[in-house]
Structure 1
Amino acid sequence: MSQQRVAVVTGASRGIGRQIAVTLAAQGQAVVVGYAGRADAAAEVVQEITAAGGRAVAVQADVADEHAVAAMFDTAESEFGGVDVVVNSAGRMVLTTIAELNLDDLDAMHRTNIRGTFVVLREAARRVRAGGAVVTLSTSVVGLQFPTYGGYAASKGAVESTTLILARELRGRDITVNTVAPGPTATELFLEGKDQPTIDHLAKQPPLERLGTPEDIANVVVFLAGPGGRWVNGQVLRANGGII
């Protein structure tokens, strides 16, 4: 019997991260469900996975805290024997014009999105086994330049650069490193505070004329993390239904 693959997924208590964790588990991977503060939501994800016959454990970690992240990887190794897949889905988003951007909000966003990505990628670079995969989450707004996304898109531009550089630094390790950049995706976080006309307008942007779903994004991540994605490396995959 081949060794079970083990995935660490941050931001896995809700939204896209949750769906990624559940989908990886459905593909047979043991999953560490990383979460920042919602222990109840993370426990629900673990319950969903184990009820379906999978293996999972929830671990609280602020991704920008290198000690907490190291402890999360320690748990993956002690509970399941190692780490093969790392998906950094944890993120923070504040939307406002650049002229009105509160610098404390900018610092908080960059702490989670930039420092957090560095911390998780650093740990992944040290621990992921040969044959493994690392996936970060960016945003298609890096290319679309929507107003009010200045601070957020800046942080995700850093995510893309860092991810692609790590792919080159891991030469010879047989580890793929990619980033997935979703377009508008119907999560609780995305829909919050938006009126129906705004949602309808965003849904019309892609040629496919709908919002993405967490399942759409999770399926792309699982492809990159699985045997079918082994020849995709050092890429930004814009999963957005064809928005230009």
Structure 2
Amino acid sequence: MSDIVGCFNERAQKLLELHLASGFRKYFIWFKGKLQGSHVALIQEGKDLVNYALINAVAIRKILKKYDKVHFSKQGQAFKSQAQSMHIEILQSPWLCELMAFHINLRETKVKSGMTPASFEGCYLTFNDGKPFLSCELFDSVKLDIDLTCSICLDTVFDPVSLTCGHIFCYMCACSAASVSIVNGLKAAEPKEKCPLCREAGVYEGFVHLDELSILLRRSCSEYWEQRLQMERVERVRQAKEHWESQCQAFVGV
């Protein structure tokens, strides 16, 4: 399973890197051969990756359920729980979340431009009692819902990041939970620091910035996004000022 998830993550990361790149960097990546073909090929590979993830998830679920039924055991369920704890279940991948947001962004862009959307139609952003969810219809009527409410500030995730355990938080909230400043960033977090939700340690070093999701939420919640942006600018300036003041004091020996 780890090889399957690793292959999926690598391909999805390369695809989204090309989509989000701009200017000379985009052409440089293109000519390096990370993705061959036109913009249509970019969309098609995104669709293939989402389908790959969903088919794999449903197949694993059916295999484990069948195993438990045939052998009158709970080993299949135990294996699934172990896979989740080891972060080798494909539905936990932050790149699946990014691909879902990628398709919604493409679809909305094409609708506004009057073009026929060619993206995956099963992904959409919904709001339930004001709380956002990233949803995707799986095969066999199975539905995947990703809660986009930060469990720390209890608001829609702003500048979202996914920890290696799969939980999503605002970047500033994650920094606070990891006991690091925004200036130093999450990579400066100690290995002992734990996820606020599952309490697993060492989940900050391999965090993923969810750029496609950030674009989607900025477009869908523009008023809220602008308010949070203003608030975070003030906090970032305050933390930066405190950081450099402490650095200057340490330098002069105060």
Return the TM-score normalized by structure 2: 0.29
Return the TM-score normalized by structure 1: 0.30
Higher alpha-carbon Rg? 2
Higher relative helix content: 2
